[in-house]
Amino acid sequence: MSETPQQPAEAGKVNESDEDSGLHARALAWGGAAIVGGVLFALGAAWGAREMLRPQGGFGGPNAPGTRPAAPALEAAPQPARAAYEADKQRLVNSYGWVDQDAGVARIPVEQAMRLMAERPATEQHR
């Protein structure tokens, strides 16, 4: 068996081992182009959105010159309204009444409801 010495690769020729290295220049170029294209698309979309929201172009947004937000509807003295609200809730908590008469759902005073729940056996409370 005589072995022939390998000839060094000539300039411009590709060794067989280089072809099988797993790197494909065309695929890398397409991948890089896709990344650059995606970045350019995102930049263009951001620029377009910025242009639409500028006061002199597009719809101007909520803070465009010449527009004023509506003043908040504040009460000069909210204490009476708050007291009436709390009195109404106390009346509901401490009285009988229908929540949904068609479905047969009623309310009872909280104190009575707690007393009824305390009288039930523990096995019935978790139904």
Write down which residue in 17, 37, 60 finishes a domain.
Answer: 60
β-strand partners of 97: 107
CA distance 63 to 73: 20
Domain of 53, in residue numbers: 25-60
Condensed to tens digits (0 to 9), the pLDDT of residues 61-117 reads 666 666 777 788 888 899 999 999 999 999 999 999 999 999 999 999 999 999 999
Q: How many structural domains does the chain have?
A: 2
pTM higher than 0.75: no
Write down which residue in 14, 45, 60 finishes a domain.
Answer: 60
Q: Is residue 120 part of a domain?
A: yes
Q: Is residue 68 part of a domain?
A: no
Could you give the C-alpha distances from 3 to 13, 15, 19, in angstroms and in order? 22, 19, 24
